[in-house]
Each structure stands twice: as C-alpha cells, then as structure tokens.
Structure 1
Amino acid sequence: MAKLTLSDLYGISFTSLGTAVADWKDMVGRLDTLANSARDHMLATSNKARWSGENAGVTRDFVKKTAEEFRDAHAEAKSIWNILEDAHTELAKIQSDVKNAVDVNAKDLGIRVQDNGDGTVRCFFPHVRGDTDERTQQQLDEMRALESRVNGLIAHAEEIDDSAARALRKSHGNDVNDFGHSTYDSLDDAQQERASELAKKSLRLYKEGKELPEEELAELAQTIKYNASDPDFATAFYRDLGQEGALRFQAQLSLDGSAEGGRQLELARTIQDGMGVALSKATPRLGDEWTAELMRVGRSNISLDMVGNQVEPRGYQVLGTLLRHGKYDTEFLKRVGNDMIAFEREDPGAWPRLDGRYTGMPNFGLNLDKDGGGGFDPITGLLEAYGHNPDASTEFLRATVPGKQDGVPTMTNLEYLMGMGADGKGEGARQWIPDVAAPWAQEGDDKVFGKDALGHALEAAVTGLPYDHGPSGEHPKHTPERSEIMESVVTAVAAKPDLMHDRMADSLGRMAGEYMPEINSSLRQSNNFAGLYGSSNFDALATTEFLDTLGRNPDAYAEATLGAENYSASLMSDVVKHPDQYSGTPGENLKHISYGTGTVEGILGGARHDEIVTGGQLSDEEYNKKIQERADMFNSVFGSTVGFATERVPIAGEVINGVTEHIVGKVAEGAERNTAAETAHEAGVSSFDARKNALEQANAGVIIAGTPKGEDSLTLHRDVDTNTGEGYDHGKELQREAKDHYKRNPPE
C-alpha cells in the first residue's frame, strides 16, 4: 500500500471532506426524523391495530423490523459522521502544522525540506555560494528536530487516515441489505477499540506459541503512539485489558523485542513508551480500586504464557518499565511507590533476575529504552517517574516506609536509597546491583542504572522542577521540605563522598547550581552581606567538602561551575538594576558577589587539581570536554533566579538570556584554553588558568550588569578582579582545610 507523502499532505484540499462531513450531518438529522416517525407513527399504529389472521403476525414483525432498521440507519449515519468530522478536524490541523513547519520554521532556520516519496522527509542546509557549509551543533540539532517533527506529523496523518477508513468499514459492515453494525461516538473510540482488539489478539497468539504479525504490530504501535495522551483512549484501553493483562502483554512484547532486535524491537519500544504515557493519563480516572488491584498484581509473578519461557517477572518489574514515561499523578505514585519500597524491604529477593540460560543475550530485558538497564530493577523506573513529578518526589524521599518483619530498621526513603541507612553509616540501606542480562554478577558498578534515576528524583525533589524541564521562568521556592533534602544530601556526601555515584554526579552538580544562594550564604565571611543570599542551614565545612566531591567528577564539576557563574552574573545584574532591594551600595555588593563566587570556584578548582594530580583517573581534557557538553545544553535548558533562598526572584527574560549565553560561552571558551596533559606540572598550569578564568568571568558579569552610578568603571573592574582572586585563593584554602579535617576526623 502506498505511503502518505509530504506532497500528498501538503497539497491535498480537505474541502471535499468538509463537504462530506456537512452532508452526513444533514443525513443524520433526516434519518433521526424518519426513525422517530417510524417509531411514533408506523410502529405505534401497528402495535395498536387489531389485526388477525395469518398475515397479522408477519405484518406486525415486518413493521417492527422496518422501524428498527430506520433507527439502525440513523445510528450508522451518526457513527460515520462522527468519524469523518474527527478525521477532518485532525487532518486539517496536521496539514496546518506541516505547512507552518515547511513554510515558516524551515525558512527561518535556512533549511530545505525534501520529500523522500516514502512517507518521510529529509532536511538539509542548501549550499550557498561563498558559504563554508559549517554548522553549529545547535543548528544541526534544530535541523534534526524539524525533520523528526515533520516525519511525525506525516505518520500521524497516515494513522488517522487508516483508522478512519477501518472504522468506516466496520460502521458500514459491507452489507447493503442491513444497517446496524459497529457504531462510534468519535474516531478516538474506534482507535481505542482497535488497540484493545490487537493487544488481546497478541495475548491469545502467545498462548499458541505465535506472535502478532508485524503489520498488525506496526498498526498497534502507531495507534498507541498517537493516542496515548488522550485520557479517554488510555482509560478505556487499560480497563479493557485489565491490570494483569496489560502487564503480561507489555512483558511479552518487551522480552521478544529485546531478544529479536530489529524492527520488532523498534515497534515494541514505541508501544512501551506509549503505554507508559497512557497509564499516566488513565490512573487518575481508573480509581482507587483499580490501583489496589494493580498493586496486588505488582507483588505477584506474571505468567507470560510464552512457549519455552523461563522468566516470570513480578508485576512491579513490568510496571517499572512503564513508569519511565509520562507524568504520573501524585497520589498514584505515593501508593505504588511506597508499596514497592515496602515490598522489597520485606523480601530482598523480591525482584527475580535472569540466570545463565540468557548469557548470550546481553540486551534481553523488560526495559526497551536505549539506556537505563534491563528493567529487572523496578525501582529505576519508579525513580524516573518521581523525577517527572517534583512534589511527589519531595514527599516520597521524606517518607518513612518500614518493612513489616521484625528487625527491619526504620529510615526515610532518601536514607534507604542513597545509602545513609538508619544509622547514617549504611545500616539497612539498599544494596544496588547491576541491572543487566546474565551474568549480571560479573558486571561493574557502571551498570547500576538506578543511581542515575535516583539523581533525577533528587533533582526534582529539591528544585521543584522536573529534572528534564525545558526553559523556565520563575523557579519554585526552596521550601523547608526541599531544603531539608538538599541539606541531607550535602551532609551525607560530605561525610561519605562515595555516596555520589558517577551516574548521579551531573544531577548533584545541577542541584548545587540551583542552591548557590544557600551555598554562598554558608561560605560568606561576613554578615554584612547576608541580605544578598538569605539565610542558610548548610554547615560551612560540609558545604566545602560537598563542593570538593563535586569538583573531583567532570560532570559534577561542569554543572556546578556553570551554575555558579550563571548565578553570580545574574545576581550582579539584579543588584545594579534594583539597588533599593539590597543593603549596601551596588559597588560593594558587586565586589562581595565576586569574592563569594571566587570562593566557590576556588573549592571546585582545588578539587579538580587534586583529582588530576593524585587521582590519575581523568585528564584535564576530560573535564573540559564535560564543560563543553554541558555548555551546549545549558542555554536552552536552564533559566536563572536570584534572591533569598526562600524567596526566589526571577530575572527579566531579556537580561537573563544575555547573561546565560555570555557566561556559559566564557566558561566553555576558557575550558578550551585549559586543556593540558595529565602531569603534575600541567595540572598546576590548569589550576592557574582556572583562577584566571574565574577573574575573567567575574568581570564579564560586571560588563553585563553595567557600571553603577557613582562608580568609576576602571576602579570597579580592578576591585572585582582583586576580590575574585582573593575569594578563589580563600576557596582553595577552605578545600585544603576541609581535607585535612576529614583526614584527622574521619566519619565513623
């Protein structure tokens, strides 16, 4: 069957379809009148007539059947009208989006969109005479995003067209002598019915040792993909399949897809992603009883009805793969999340894993994401869900969920998951193991994918924003609950640096960037400038040691450095623009800000130096590579706020955008200059250059902020330079003292 192409979708006129919709609407009205007339007059008269003889029963039955046919004709016409109207509305909207993408977005970006003739397009930058044809990473990303968007719109249009045609056939029934077949209130109803039909067919086939044909699997994947966000579709789909049926269906597709790879894996992954989003939309509507039964199934083993299969995962293990996708309701996550934790604390072997029979299948598993592990540890998926729901994550990490048997220590979920344990020394804390196919026991710590998800949940909990949020204006307040979690993390990592797993280092670096007001406040040397940052409960020594730990990891160092510089420059702009909101003169405040930021950078820089010299694990080049990677993402992802720790004050958009772009560019540019071989001498050179960069970036912040009235520009820049350097040296001294303190007084 020919594929719908860009040219088809772009050039087609939907006028005829619109006319058909209007005609069928008129037909529905006419048939409704006829059906009512047949019922109220013809049928009523027949029922009242005093007929007798051989023809009486035949005639009365004929009149009754005729009246029913009029009603069935009306129902069929209404179903056809509903389908056509929805199809017309959705296709017209998609066509408008395609034209906007091709005629406006592509043009603005200097991109050409080429129809491949197979249902896909290719986007490229046409050559212009005299142009080098070199493109920035941002330009290439925008090109790929546009190409993906247009391809998605074409595929969606084809899915609507196919669904509408299929629903029209079922409404008509291909019987010219009989009305009364399938009826639909909307195209969504037809799509949901078809999705449930195919999923149930797949379940039946697996019992027979067969699989859904690829063509039908592709149809199901497209239907779920483009309807998953519709609450009506999602609710009906999960209600039809039931809790155990839905999880069994998902597990069957996942294990087969991961084993076979190729097209089947691609389709199974699309279905898994869509079912996750659909479940997030459905659970608020399905109700408490439905969730309670899901929790019961979650604790049970799922029989997969697959010939030769030796795996019977827990329902929660399958659910964990779905929780990675979508934003789940807070109450649902509270019930399911705490039950999952309680269950595994009652039984440390709660989650069955693969044995040696699957050694030759390294990608075999329940989770079909391209990263994130095999999915046999459901806590990974649970934590990803919390990473998308900040309020739920804050509540979850502060909650206490004891196990049911005697001797299980009580602790918060944060203490259990991060490793502090009930006594702060690890007692009863969760033992994380690699989440991969057999032989998992031979895998290293880098396969503990759950720690990455834990970092995401922590980010959401302490910032009040989903970990993968896009550009944001006003940042949520640092409530006492959020700050308590952040303080616990700072204190714990300071005492035991290995609690910061490499996979969560970038998250902790971003958390530090978000909490720069509190960090600066805890490290300040004078209360005269307390109003710049507000109060903080962070311990100065613990904060220093926390920053030292971040500085030893390239990801964490890059995130924390970018956060510190961006916050500093933003605050500088604000004290100049709104001097009446701060005590002290703008000039005094600028000098203090530069000293404080220099202190933070000095701690980070000292840790970076020590890691390069003594650790021998990562070169300066690796640090700089991470900074450049983070800088590429920073401008488009993170906004900035300044002000008291509990009263976040957003900077005006045009100001902060300029600050962010300029400062991030400076940090990345400086990093390129720092690259050096891994020797003690050149590590020292790197440290010197890091100090120099701190001075340059502080002055860049002053340039953006502008010289306050009454201040001499040259003198101000010289003072900022001096204060930044003194702060940097002070930070390095704090870092050395903190190391010495912990050497003399190691945590028990």
Structure 2
Amino acid sequence: MLTFDEVLHVGLTGLDSAVTDWSATINKLRELEETAENGLRNKADKADWAGENAGITKSFVKKTAKEFSDAAKVAESIRNVLRDALSEFKSAQKSLEDVIKTAPGKGIHIDAEGIVSYLVHPDRRSKSYDGPKPTEADFEAVRATIKAAIDKANEADEIASRALRTLVGKDKNNFSGTEYSGLKQAAKAQDAEDAKKAANIVKKGDDATPEEIDRLNKYFKDNKDDRYFAEQFAVRVGVKGGIEYWADLGDPSDGSRLGLDHAKKIKELQENWSMTLATASHSNSEDMTRWKSDMIKSGDEVFRTRGTSVYGFQVMSNLMRDGVYETKFLNDYGKSLFAAEQKMTRGNASNADLAWNPSFSTSHLNWDGKDLGRDPMNGFMEALGHNPKASTEFFNSKLDLTPENHDDNKNVSAFKYFTEERDWPEDNTKDGFSNKYGYDSLGHALESATIGNAYDTPAGEFKDVRTEDNAKVMQKVVNFYGSEPKYMHEQGIADSLSRMGSAYIDEFNRSLEQEDVSSEYAQPDSPFGAFKDGHSRFGEEYDNKLLFTRGDTVDFMGIVAQSKEGHAQMSAAQSIYTTSVMDAHGPNPGSQQLKDTDLTDLKTALRIGSETHGILDYSRMGQIDKDFEKDTEERAKAIAETTEWVKFGTGAAIAGGVVAVTGGFGAAAVLAPLAVETVGGGLSTYLGMETDDLAEQYEKDGRELMKEKSDKLSDEALLLGEANAQKPKEAYVQAPGWSQENRNFLEEELTKYIKDSRSHARDDILPDPYEKED
C-alpha cells in the first residue's frame, strides 16, 4: 500500500517515458503485424501444401503470423494501462500538492506522514491572534482530500499491476492477445474473473474445503465496495443458488462438517457475503433489478434441505446483517416480509414464533454467535440499523394488513407493530433460549431512525444529521417508552434508548426549561435546542414549539435512567451539552469586565443541567432500591457505579458538531450534540478534568464501604453526583483566558445561583421503578 509520502514524492518520469516507449513499440509491431499478415499468412494460404507440410508447416506459419497480431494487442494494452495509471498518479499527486499549499491559509498544518493538526494551536495563540481558526469541518475536508488521493493512487497501482501480470501471461511461447482499452476495462475484467471464481466455489456447497472458503473470503475482501464485482457475483450465484447454499450450510445432516468445525470461517463469510450483496443492491442494472424482484418473490417460498426447511426470507435476512442495502429495496423487502408474516399468522402477531419455525428444525442460518437466525425480522432490523434513511422511512410508514385488497385501507403503524404488538420469537442463543437479540436489533434500527447515523458508526465519524423525519420517530419513541417502565426493561433495550436520549439532550433541555408539564411551546429566547442558521433543524414549526413536553421528557429520561446504561450515558451527554451551551452563550474567556446580566444564559444552562442530573440520579437510585436488598454487596456496588459516568472523557471524539463518547460504555459510541460546531475553552477544559469516582473507591476499599449502611452510601453517591453535575461550571471558570478577578466573580455568582437547582428534580413526579411481575 502506498503511503502519503510515497504518493506525494513518487517520481513519474520513468513511467512517462515508458508510456512513450510503448507507443513507439506499438507502431513497430503494427508494421510487423502487417508484414506477417500480408506476407507469411497470405502466402501460406495461397501455397499448395502437401504431405507433412500441409498438416504441420502451414498451421505453424499461420500461428506465427497471429503472434505478431497478439503482440501488437498486448503492447497497446500495456501502453493503455500505463497511460491511465500515470494519469491517476499525477491527479493524486496534484491533489496532495494543492491541499498542502492551501492548508496553512486555513490554519491547518500537514506533517510528513499526512497527519493534520492546527497551524497554531488554540492554547498557544496570543490575545492579539487574528489568523485563521479552522473548524472541525475544515479538518474533515482536508483529511478527506488526503484519503481520496491516496486511495486513488493505490487503486490504480493495484489494478495496473494485476493487469500487467495478466497481459504477460504464463505461457512463455505465446502472447496472451488480451486487450484493455485502459484501467477501467482492466478493472471490470478483473472483477468478472473474481466473481466467476467465487461463484464456482459457491457451487460446491458445503463440500468446499476450508481452504476454498478462505479463498472465497479473500475474493470478497479484495473487492470490497466494488459494485461491478458485487453485481457479477450476485447474478452468477442467483437468488435460489444463494438461498440454497446457506440453507444447506446450516444443515449438518448430510455429513458435512464445514460449519461444525469451521464456524469462524463461516461467520466471516456471512459478513463478507452480506456486505457484497448490500453493495450489489445499489445497482439498477436490468440484471440486478430482476435479482431484487426475485429475491422478494422467493421470500415466502420454502426451501428444503436433507434435514430442514427454511423460508427464503429467513435466509436473506441473515445476509442483511452487515453492509448498507439500498433504501427502496429494504423498504420493499420489509413490507413483503411483514405481509408474509401476516399471512402466516392470520393477523395475530403473537403467532410469529410458530410462523418462522415451519419444521421445528434447528437450522443454523446466523453465524455471528448470537442466535441461530430463525426470526427474519432480526436481520432485517440490523439492515435498517445500517441505513438511516430506510429505517426512518420505515418507522414513519404504515404497513398494509391486507395487501391483497388495496381498497379496504386496513393498516398498522410500523412503529407500533414492532415495538408494541409483535411478540418477538425466541431462539437458541448463546445466553439460552430467548428473544433478547431480536429486541436488540429493534433497538439498533430505532437508533438509526432517530439519530440519522448507522447505529455502529465509529466515534470519529458521527455527525449531527438529524432531520424532521428523524424527530418524528423520536417523538414516537419518547411517547411509547416513556409511558411505562416495563417496555424498556422487558425488551432489554436500555442501551439503545439511552443513546437515542443522549442524541436529543439539547431538545430535552429545552423542554425542561418550560415549567408547565403539558405546554407545547418553549420559553422565549431559550439557549437550548437544535438550531441551525437561526431556525430549528426540525423545521421552522419548532422554532417556538417543543418536540417533547416537559412531562414527556421527565417520564422518558426517568425511565431510561433507571438502567445503569441509561443513567451513565445520559449523565455524560448532559454534562457535555451544558458545557457547550456555556461556551456558546456565555462571555468569552478574556472578557474584561463582567456584569451579572452577562450570566443569564450561563445560569439557565447550569440550572437545567443540574436539574436534569437530579432526575437521572434519583431515578437510578430508586431502581437500585427496588432491585437490591439493603446492606448487600450487590446494592453497594450498584450505588458506587452511579458515579462511574465521569470517566467518559478518555474516549471522547469531537467531530461534525457532536461529541461521541466511548469511554466506559462498551463498543458503541454515544452521541451528544453541541450548541456550537467548534469546541470552546470550557468544553476542552471539561474533557481533560480529573474527576472523583465512587466506583473506583469501591474497588479499592469495598470492604470498608460495606461497613457503612446503604442509606449512608446512597447519600454519599448523591452528593458526589451533585458535585459532578457542577463540573461544567468549574470547567468554564477554569478555561484559559480569564483574569483571576473574573474567575472569582464567576465562581461566586454561578455557585450561589445553582446551589439549590438540583433539588427541583424532587418536584417532578418521577416514574415508578420497574418491578418484574411474578
């Protein structure tokens, strides 16, 4: 793989000369070809050959004459490949040279390895600095330009090197006669060749060797995101070929041990196959349009192997768990899948368990180690989780209950059906027989639909792309999951709900500023909310209107915070957002003289932030009281963990107007919106602050802490939570630039104002803790 430095400094003179030399060679070979054609071949055809000469010499002369033609074709193909490669290398090199030249004017430095940083770091700027101040968007644009240039050069290098090897061929005595008009045609030929070889391995079914499965996986990896390869593979294997392959692979009754002994290889194959079909689905060629139609039509067809029977939908849904499938195909597929389930259950959603187990078999269709893949809705939800546009459209749609009758207007909200009405089938999972992973996938789809990013977006790639349509789904989420604690607890999707809640923390703060629990309108001149260019990003209707009432916000946040994940993630998001509001609406560090009237928005931000932390902390403590007996080690540990969210700063990634938090929360990142795109001094200080953590103290001194009564430990945790909720104020006051006089003034005014704000959370009627029914 070529590096930044290699692409930037590679010498192209030799390649340029090679193109010229091969052009000259083509002309000479064309002359020889004409001589061979008019001389050797024509004379051989006209000669009166007899005896051995007729059988041997004549064919030898003709073959020799043809070699001159093949040599000319190969030479021209080599020239074409080198010419296009040179053009791509020059273009990539110029892109790097241009971005290096213009970066300083934007306040950006690019080092010898292509790493992007500030030309003058904000911490080192003098008070009189008036140079460029790059935004995160500027950094992203420069990084994207560098990456695109390096990718272009590497792609050209890989295609050209493989094309040249093909042109030379393996036969030392014959020219290959291969013709390439350029890199594009060479790339297509390579894709078609790889797709054919991959499809031939698939034809062997579970008789393929482990080494052949490795080779199949390599074809997928080498052609990742290559639409032509993906389309060629999908069409060559065919809809039924792919379904039958996976159905047979999951049935060991024919004696095959491929899946039994090499489950990791099959897991990798499932992921790669899924991403390949996802790439192919974006093609609108005649072949792929037919493939997509046939796939949907085959969904309710039963495919039988030696020992099992499965529906086409069951197989295909397990090949949707990875990759971004095309939006229209996903929605068409989902509606047909729903219609099939309705038909099989006769409209009774509680019968979904029986519908998707036609033979009561144990066919193994999902190899990711979670469940066996019996319920096709699981894989479909995972696919929605990777395509925000499709998931948003789907959960804002109505599903036809009687698709065979277009005039009766019988339908159901897709959101209502999947969150409330459907009894998700249980399956054999790594954790026992349950429907845990079905609801988990539902949570992923809802994250995608509400946040507008794929649920597993890497932390540094998150952007605040929420739209009015995303917000409509979020309103449904808040209304439903905030109505009763049992839905979140019994479905087990607290992690997803907390990520959704964190992403809308700005609008929740806006709601909490309104004291009237049922008012639909915001306080005038509120410092909160998702505003862009002076208007709500959810439409001008919400410039003054609230997405959620105060009552709905308290109910939703209170229920989600009953879980460990919900309390931790939303607490972290709240502190991030509070600090960003202070940076956005408070006086800038370095302001000379501060007046109390300058602090209005700061006080509001701290008051609502402190109140929110109170809602979160008291909700979590109430659930701990319900879940654990007093004075037990489990209860003490749960209480101690309520302060653990303060560790989040170690995993914070800032980009695109959001902070994505990963520290302490597992693999998935938690998105918290910022009040401004650029990061101010308060937030920078906040992310680097040392924090107290009762959980860490518990790990060290657990035995001593256990000697204390639970009530005392609860009081300590709540006090520490209250202190942690004030960190945004401390960060703002400690930000570089303030005079000591202003620091003292801020500390006095802000502390005095917010000291009792947290107690207001006690005025809210919080949801009752969840209690599992016997």
**Length-normalised TM-score, structure 2:** 0.68
Moved more, 515-524 or 321-330: 321-330
* Match among 712, 715, 718 for residue 685 of structure 1: 715
Q: Secondary structure of 1:636's partner?
A: strand
Q: Distance in 2 between matches of 1:586 and 1:260?
A: 71
CA deviation profile, 1:582-625 (whole Å, cap 9, x unmatched): x9944122122111011111111111111111222864534765
Q: Which residue of 2 aligns with 1:212?
A: 208
Cα displacement (A) at 1:567: 0.5
Does residue 443 of structure 2 align to residue 443 of structure 1?
Answer: no
Work out the CA distance in 2 between the residues paired with 1:434 and 1:637: 39
Aligned mate of 2:687, from 653, 656, 661: 661
Q: Contact 1:569 / 1:705 at 8 angstroms: preserved in 2?
A: no
Q: Does 1:562 align with 2:561?
A: no
Q: In the TM superposition, what are the counterparts of 1:495-510 in structure 2 within 5 Å?
A: 495-501=483-489, 503-510=492-499
Partner SS, residue 411 of structure 2: coil
> Which secondary structure does the structure 1 equivalent of 2:688 belong to?
helix
What is the Cα deviation at residue 687 of structure 1? 4.7
Give the match for residue 320 of structure 1: 317
Counterpart CA distance in 2 for 1:674 and 1:696 is 22
Q: Which AA in structure 1 matches 2:300?
A: R
Q: Who is 2:122 aligned against?
A: none
Q: Deviations over 1:682-701 (max 9, x none)?
A: 45325533443345424324
Partners of 1:335 and 1:553 lie apart in 2 by: 36
Structure 2 residue aligned with 1:733:
763
Map of 1:700 onto structure 2 = 730
Residue in structure 1 matching 2:677, options 651, 654, 676: 651
Contact 1:277 1:327 in 2 (8 A): yes
Give matches, 1:562-601, under 5 Å.
562-577=572-587, 585-601=597-613
**Structure 2 partner of 1:482:** 470
Output the CA distance in 1 between the equivalents of 2:310 and 2:409.
Answer: 25
Amino acid at match of 2:433: E
Maintained 8 Å contact 1:550/1:557: yes
Single out whichever of 692-701 and 406-415 deviates more from structure 2: 406-415
Query: Mapping of 1:285-684 within 5 angstroms?
Result: 285-287=283-285, 288-303=289-304, 309-348=306-345, 352-353=356-357, 358=362, 365-371=364-370, 373-404=371-402, 410-419=411-420, 429-436=421-428, 443-444=433-434, 447-471=435-459, 475-476=463-464, 478-501=466-489, 503-525=492-514, 530-534=525-529, 535-577=545-587, 585-616=597-628, 619=635, 621-622=637-638, 627=644, 631=648, 634-636=651-653, 641=658, 649-653=675-679, 655=681, 658=684, 661-662=687-688, 666=691, 669=693, 671-673=695-697, 680-682=710-712, 684=714
Alpha carbons of 1:400 and 1:42: their partners in 2 closer, same or farther (altered >3 Å)? Answer: same
Change (3 A) 1:189 1:294: same
Q: Report deviation, 1:563.
A: 0.6
Which position in structure 2 is the counterpart of 1:128? none
TM-aligned CA distance change 1:553 to 1:374, over 3 Å = same
Q: Which amino acid is 1:621 matched to? A: K
> What 5-or-longer segments of structure 2 have no aligned partner?
93-111, 118-150, 346-351, 516-521, 530-544, 660-672, 700-704
Deviation at 1:357, TM superposition (A): 6.3
Q: Is the 8 A contact 2:440 2:492 kept in 1?
A: yes
> What amino acid does structure 1 have at the position aligned with 2:637?
E
Give, in whole Å, the separation in 1 of the partners of 2:214 and 2:222: 12
For residues 741 and 761 of structure 2, the distance between their equivalents in structure 1, rounded to whole angstroms, comes to 28
Provide the rounded CA distance (Å) in 2 between the counterparts of 1:369 and 1:25: 53
Q: Distance in 1 between matches of 2:698 and 2:765?
A: 21
Answer yes or no: is the 8 Å Cα contact 2:511–2:549 preserved in 1: yes
- Contact 1:83 1:168 survives alignment (8 Å): no
User: Which 5+ residue runs of structure 1 have no aligned equivalent?
Assistant: 1-5, 94-102, 109-152, 359-363, 420-428, 744-748
Query: What does the per-residue CA deviation read over 1:515-544, in whole Å, with 9 as the maximum and x for residues that have no partner?
Result: 122211222256766421244131222211
Query: Structure 1 pair 452/634, CA: closer, same or farther in 2 (3 Å)?
Result: farther
Q: 1:706 to 1:528 in 2, by over 3 A?
A: farther
Query: C-alpha distance in 2, partners of 1:368/1:654?
Result: 46
Cα distance in 1 for partners of 2:483, 2:524 equals 29
> For residues 561 and 628 of structure 1, do their structure 2 counterparts lie closer, same or farther at Cα, with a shift above 3 Å needed?
closer
Q: CA contact under 8 A between 1:300 and 1:314: conserved in structure 2? A: yes
Instruction: Give the alignment of 1:157-306 within 5 angstroms.
Output: 168=165, 172=169, 174=171, 176=173, 179=176, 188-189=187-188, 192-193=191-192, 195-206=194-205, 211-253=207-249, 264-287=262-285, 288-303=289-304
User: Is residue 599–residue 727 contact of structure 1 (8 Å, CA) maintained in 2?
Assistant: yes
> 2 CA distance for matches of 1:295 and 1:39?
56
SS in 1 for 2:507: helix
SS in 1 for 2:400: coil
Greater mean deviation of Cα atoms: 611-620 or 31-40? 31-40
SS at 1:443 equivalent: strand
In 1, the alpha carbon distance for the partners of 2:256 and 2:638 equals 33
Secondary structure of 2:653 counterpart: helix
Q: Following TM superposition, by how much is the alpha carbon of 1:651 offset from its aligned partner in structure 2, in angstroms?
A: 3.3
The residue type paired with residue 385 of structure 1 is: A
- Please provide the CA RMSD for this pair: 5.2
Letter in structure 1 aligned against 2:504: Y
Deviation of the 1:566 alpha carbon: 0.8
Deviation at 1:443, TM superposition (A): 1.8
User: Structure 1 residues 311, 727: closer, same or farther in 2, change over 3 A?
Assistant: farther
Give yes or no for contact 1:202–1:249 (8 Å, CA) kept in 2. Answer: no
Higher helix share: 1
Shift of 1:170: 9.7
Q: Distance in 2 between matches of 1:225 and 1:18?
A: 33
Contact 1:570 1:641 in 2 (8 A): no
**Count of aligned positions:** 639
- The residue type paired with residue 576 of structure 2 is N
Q: Cα offset for 1:42? A: 2.9
Change (3 A) 1:312 1:71: farther
Question: Would the alpha carbon gap of residues 63 and 473 (structure 1) be closer, same or farther in structure 2, given more than 3 Å must change?
Answer: closer
With over 3 angstroms needed to count, the CA separation of the structure-2 counterparts of 1:105 and 1:85, relative to structure 1, is: same
- d(CA) in 2 for partners of 1:504 and 1:401? 24
> In structure 1, what is the Cα distance between the partners aligned to 2:23 and 2:641?
66
After superposing the two structures, state which structure 1 stretch, 517-526 or 633-642, moved more: 633-642
Question: Which residue type is aligned with residue 374 of structure 1?
Answer: L
- What SS class does the counterpart of residue 461 from structure 1 fall into? helix
Q: Does the CA-based 8 Å contact 1:276-1:324 persist in structure 2?
A: yes
Moved more, 518-527 or 248-257: 248-257
Conserved? CA contact 2:22–2:78, under 8 Å: no
Q: Distance in 1 between matches of 2:13 and 2:277?
A: 34
State the distance in 1 between where 2:276 and 2:16 align: 30
Post-superposition shift, 1:469?
2.5
Structure 2 CA distance, aligned partners of 1:45 and 1:705? 88
Secondary structure at the residue paired with 1:284? coil
Inter-partner Cα distance in structure 2 for 1:662 and 1:639: 20
- C-alpha deviations, 1:295-318, integer Å up to 9, x for none? 1223323455xxxx3233323222
Shift of residue 398, structure 1, vs aligned partner:
0.2
Task: Determine the C-alpha separation between the residues in 2 that align with 1:632 and 1:262.
Answer: 43
Deviations along 1:442-463, one digit per CA (max 9) or x if unpaired, are 724xx42122222222222222
Contact conserved, 2:321 with 2:380, CA < 8 A, in 1? yes
Counterpart AA for 1:570? S
CA distance in 1, matches of 2:723, 2:694: 6
Change (3 A) 1:292 1:48: farther
- Structure 1 pair 181/484, CA: closer, same or farther in 2 (3 Å)? closer
Using the TM superposition, give the Cα deviation of residue 25 of structure 1 relative to its aligned residue in structure 2, in angstroms: 9.1
